[in-house]
């Protein structure tokens, strides 16, 4: 089991330089950092990879899509753009030395069209299936994130997300589950993890308020037991957003400071993750 933390904990905008964050993460003791590709292109991939390696850290990657790159669109050109955007993200992930890319990839963030949900899910799977070859060539796994109802209507639950991943027919596409979203959408998050089984390729944690795991009411011990039951051996990545008054947090509706200090929150989080998830595998 490897423990990571999302660089977004310290970032004010998605375009901030992530490299200065690495030394802090390494000093705390995490195995890796998750970086958003929204601010990283091919031109900086090697530099960022070197910076992470110099700190003894591995990288995982996340990304999201806008409405101009919608895999569910009825417009062929828009779907073609989605494939191009995700292909580049996969290639940048590989250039960063990472094997893991996950995030909002089934449909754009904040796009809702519930009347056509079934057709959109089918189209999303067909579009994402076109990435199988590049995923295989680059040695990258793509995780489709299950998002709460306020961020997407297409992949609100683990079951809905699994259905799309399975419909792609790709061995390189799986599911990202996140405790924050499961806390809203799943009656029994641990049961959802068990039902996801081998489709689970990435796992995010934060408390029910997006703060330090273990500081609220979410049952992480049950999730840990479920992960152990399915033989999960991937990353446990803390994706916390705790600081208000900056553009990145505003994107996620963080309107008050959830924790007083991001670095202290990260230290508390690693200690808790090691305690609760340390014997998962």
Distance in angstroms (rounded) separating the CA atoms of residues 152 and 133: 27
- List Cα–Cα distances, 41 to 59, 85, 275, in angstroms: 15, 11, 36
Q: What pLDDT is stored for residue 281 in this prediction?
A: 67
Question: For the CA atoms of the chain, what is the radius of gyration?
Answer: 17
Q: How far apart are the first and last CA of the chain?
A: 6
Q: What pLDDT is stored for residue 246 in this prediction?
A: 83
- What backbone torsions phi and psi does residue 142 show, to the nearest 5 degrees? -105, 125
- 81: containing domain: 2-277
pLDDT means over runs of 10, the chain (281 residues): 95 91 98 95 95 98 97 98 98 98 96 96 98 98 97 97 98 98 98 98 97 97 98 97 87 90 97 94 67
Q: What pLDDT is stored for residue 39 in this prediction?
A: 83
Distance in angstroms (rounded) separating the CA atoms of residues 77 and 79: 5
- CATH at residue 257: 3.20.20.150
Predicted TM-score of the model (pTM): 0.96
The total number of structural domains in the chain stands at 1
């Amino acid at each position: 089991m490897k423990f990571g933390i999302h660089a977004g904990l310290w970032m004010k905008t998605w375009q901030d330089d992530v490299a200065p964050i690495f030394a802090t993460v390494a000093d705390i003791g995490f195995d890796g950092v998750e970086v958003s590709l929204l601010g990283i292109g091919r031109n900086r991939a090697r530099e960022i990879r070197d910076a992470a390696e110099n700190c003894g850290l591995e990288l995982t990657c996340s990304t999201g899509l806008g409405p101009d790159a919608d895999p569910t669109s009825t417009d062929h050109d828009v779907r073609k753009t989605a494939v191009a955007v995700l292909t580049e993200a996969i290639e940048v992930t590989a250039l960063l030395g990472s094997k893991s890319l996950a995030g909002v990839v089934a449909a754009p963030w904040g796009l809702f069209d519930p009347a056509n949900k079934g057709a959109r899910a089918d189209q999303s799977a067909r579009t994402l299936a076109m990435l199988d070859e590049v995923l295989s060539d680059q040695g990258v796994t793509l995780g489709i994130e299950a998002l709460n109802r306020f961020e997407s209507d297409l992949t609100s639950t683990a079951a809905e997300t699994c259905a799309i991943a399975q419909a792609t027919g790709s061995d390189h596409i799986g599911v990202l589950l996140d405790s924050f979203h499961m806390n809203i959408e799943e009656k029994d998050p641990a049961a959802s993890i068990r039902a996801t089984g081998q489709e689970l390729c990435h796992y995010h944690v934060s408390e029910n308020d997006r703060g330090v795991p273990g500081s609220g009411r979410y049952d992480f011990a049950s999730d840990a037991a479920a992960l152990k039951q399915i033989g999960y051996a991937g990353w446990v990545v803390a994706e916390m957003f705790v600081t208000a008054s900056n553009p990145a947090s505003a994107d996620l509706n963080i309107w008050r400071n959830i924790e007083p200090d991001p670095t202290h929150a990260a230290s508390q989080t690693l200690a808790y993750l090691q305690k609760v998830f340390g014997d998962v595998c």
